[in-house]
């Protein structure tokens, strides 16, 4: 037996006529869902998917009530699994957290042990969430480009949504690995920020949002795309022979108004990145490489810290394109 502890959580509820409400609640630990590991969450983060869930602008939440938050970092306080012990510091990304299973925007979480990754040596839990699912996804994209033979000397890499979370960290990672990065953004005022992260060129998003030709001038060896829609189609059309496009988002839409021309005439590959159910060994590799590659100072420059109570407002800002880089949430802050 153990004493029931209380913690704060951001809770999404829906009434009988489908209206959504988001509030901070004081919760008892015995209300947590099933799982073999209980984690004291120290930091979570706000991602695009979280913003969709909190604002109700996308059908992310599968059941109500729901604690949103697709990732968290913290310390294990209780475990019935032999591979995880109290005191272990851990990170969680995906696995349906914040969608089907209560997530990270809370003081505590109860989850399955095999969803957790050990916090890499040299990273704090705060830094882990400054990286978060966005940075972990960016690393998966970079690892895929490497696996497909796209090296720094192969040619430049385009990154869409470059001032956002995934894009910012992708620009940083690719630059540190020696790639020439061309950052695509709809926010021209972020040019200096992206240059500081390592971008060699800043490209206006408007060039990619209009209908394009089946094949454009061959410009890039690879791409990291968070947008989807016409942006993704135009990136594919502008790939050089043998180019590789990694697709990990849908900020510009779920449609894909493209032709087969880039794929059959230039041998372009379009590879989807699944960060939610990625195999555990690949997750661990990605996190260990992030710990090695990321510049802590640059990470700080792209990170904004907020309280749990500020998350709903920050979610609206994120959806409206008013957020640069990463937002981390201190789940220990009392309101």
Domains in the chain, CATH or no CATH each? 6-119+302-330 (3.90.180.10), 132-272 (3.40.50.720)
Residue 327 pLDDT grade (very low, low, confident, very high; cuts 50, 70, 90): very high
CA dihedral 209, 215, 221, 227 (to 10 degrees): 20
Structure tokens at 107: 């003081």
Over residues 41-54, mean pLDDT? 95
Question: Strand 326-330 to strand 37-46: parallel, antiparallel, or no bridges (unpaired)?
Answer: antiparallel
pLDDT at residue 322 above 90? no
pLDDT attached to residue 252: 83
Over residues 45-73, mean pLDDT? 93
The Cβ of residue 84 has, within 10 Å, a number of other Cβ atoms equal to 20
* CA atoms within 13 Å, Cβ hemisphere of 284: 9
pLDDT at residue 67 above 90? yes
Residue 25 pLDDT grade (very low, low, confident, very high; cuts 50, 70, 90): very high
pLDDT at residue 2 above 60? no
Q: Outline where DSSP puts E strands in 47-127.
A: 71-79, 89-93, 108-111, 116-118
* CA atoms within 13 Å, Cβ hemisphere of 77: 16
pLDDT at residue 1 above 70? no
Contact present, 220 and 155 (Cβ < 8 Å): yes
Give the H/E segment covering residue 145: helix 125-147
Side-by-side strand order, sheet with 239-247:
201-204, 181-185, 157-159, 220-225, 239-247, 269-272
Distance between alpha carbon 158 and the CA centroid of its chain, in Å? Answer: 18
The Cβ of residue 19 has, within 10 Å, a number of other Cβ atoms equal to 9
């Amino acid at each position: 037996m153990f004493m029931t502890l209380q913690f704060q959580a951001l809770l999404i509820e829906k009434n009988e006529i489908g209206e959504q409400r988001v509030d901070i609640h004081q919760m008892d630990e015995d209300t947590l869902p099933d799982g073999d590991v209980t984690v004291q969450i120290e930091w979570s983060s706000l991602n695009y998917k979280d913003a969709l869930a909190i604002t109700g602008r996308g059908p992310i939440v599968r059941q109500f009530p729901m604690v949103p938050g697709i990732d968290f970092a913290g310390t294990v306080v209780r475990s019935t699994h032999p591979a995880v012990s109290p005191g272990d510091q851990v990170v969680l990304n995906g696995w349906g957290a914040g969608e089907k299973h209560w997530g990270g925007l809370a003081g505590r979480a109860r989850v399955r042990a095999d969803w957790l990754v050990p916090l890499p040596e040299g990273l704090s839990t705060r830094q882990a969430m400054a990286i978060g699912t966005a940075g972990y996804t960016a690393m998966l994209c970079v690892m895929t480009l490497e696996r497909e033979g796209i090296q720094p000397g192969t040619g430049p890499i385009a990154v869409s949504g470059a001032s956002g979370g995934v894009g910012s960290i992708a620009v940083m990672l690719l630059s540190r690995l020696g790639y020439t990065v061309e950052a695509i953004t709809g926010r021209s005022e972020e040019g200096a920020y992206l240059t500081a992260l390592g971008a060699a060129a800043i490209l206006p998003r408007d060039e990619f949002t209009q209908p394009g030709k089946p094949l454009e001038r061959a410009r890039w060896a690879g791409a990291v795309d968070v947008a989807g829609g016409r942006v993704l189609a135009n990136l594919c059309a502008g790939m050089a022979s043998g180019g590789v496009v990694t697709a990990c988002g849908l900020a510009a839409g779920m449609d894909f108004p493209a032709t087969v021309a880039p794929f059959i005439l230039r041998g372009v590959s379009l590879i989807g990145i699944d960060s939610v159910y990625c195999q555990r060994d690949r997750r661990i590799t990605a996190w260990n490489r992030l710990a090695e590659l990321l510049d802590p100072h640059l990470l700080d420059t792209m990170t904004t810290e907020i309280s749990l109570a500020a998350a709903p407002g920050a979610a609206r800002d994120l959806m409206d394109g008013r957020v640069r880089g990463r937002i981390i949430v201190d789940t220990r802050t009392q309101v």
